[in-house]
Amino acid sequence: MTLLTPRLLTSNRESPMDAELVNDPESDNPEITPDVMDDVSAETQNEILSEVVVDEIEVLLAERDEFKDIALRLQADFDNYRKRVTATQSDDIDRATGRLVEALLPVLDACEAAFAHGTVGVEPVWSALIGCLQKQGLVALDPLNKPFEPESSEAVLHEEGDGGDSVVTEVLRTGYQWKGRVLRAAMVKVKG
């Protein structure tokens, strides 16, 4: 095991003893040199060394705190980056699956129209398709007999009413939401 001495603790500098005793214009004893160290008492040498070691420890502690702060900042930056990437990936997946569902809407419309006209054998396929998509986040909009909302419905027919709020009286084409976002507005007839 190697014992760290003041000489090993310094980097790219003279040894602490040399730095303290030689080339120090503010020193009380500028005439003390390493050659004269034999004349200095062991107690004085220990005091000088302990002061140098304490100074070195303070410098090292400050450097450690600085590096620790840098490490904590990097860790926080990385955590934020990871959260941002996860959110972006999730949004990208939702958009991609939404486009796929949007491409399947004409198939749903055809199945719904065939079922409404009494075509035999369409209902199981339509139910399976809509059931699978609903498990993934598709929601059919049901605006019938509710106040007209232009965010989720598209009025294509208008009927005069009693002057109150506009109410949806007939749904001509089903609208859908995908994970909270209107994928396609419902096509409706409005009264009022």
Predicted confidence band at 168 (pLDDT cuts at 50, 70, 90)?
Answer: very high
pLDDT recorded at residue 45 = 81
Answer CATH for 139-192 from 3.40.50.2300, 3.40.50.12280, 2.30.30.140, 2.30.22.10: 2.30.22.10
Summarised one tens digit per residue, pLDDT across range 118-152 is: 888 888 988 999 999 999 889 999 999 999 999 99
Which contacts qualify for 139-143: CB closer than 8 Å, 24 or more apart? 139/176, 139/177, 139/178, 140/174, 140/175, 140/176, 141/174, 141/175, 141/176, 141/177, 141/182, 141/185, 141/186, 142/171, 143/168, 143/171, 143/175, 143/186, 143/188
pLDDT of residue 39: 61
- Looking only at the bridges linking them, the beta strands covering 153-159 and 167-173 are unpaired
pLDDT tens sequence across 18-75: 444 444 445 454 444 555 556 667 788 888 888 889 999 999 999 999 999 999 999 9
pLDDT above 50: residue 3:
no
Q: Tell me the pLDDT band of 175, cut-offs 50, 70 and 90.
A: very high
Structural domain boundaries of the chain? Answer: 9-79, 139-192
- Give the Å distances, CA to CA, from 75 to 72, 81, 109: 5, 10, 51
Q: What is the pLDDT of residue 165?
A: 86
Q: Provide the whole-model pTM.
A: 0.57
pLDDT at 172: 92
pLDDT digits (tens, 9 = 90+) for 88-109: 999 999 889 889 999 999 999 9
Contact 101, 139 (CB under 8 A): no
**Order of strands, edge to edge, in the sheet holding 167-173?**
153-159, 186-191, 167-173
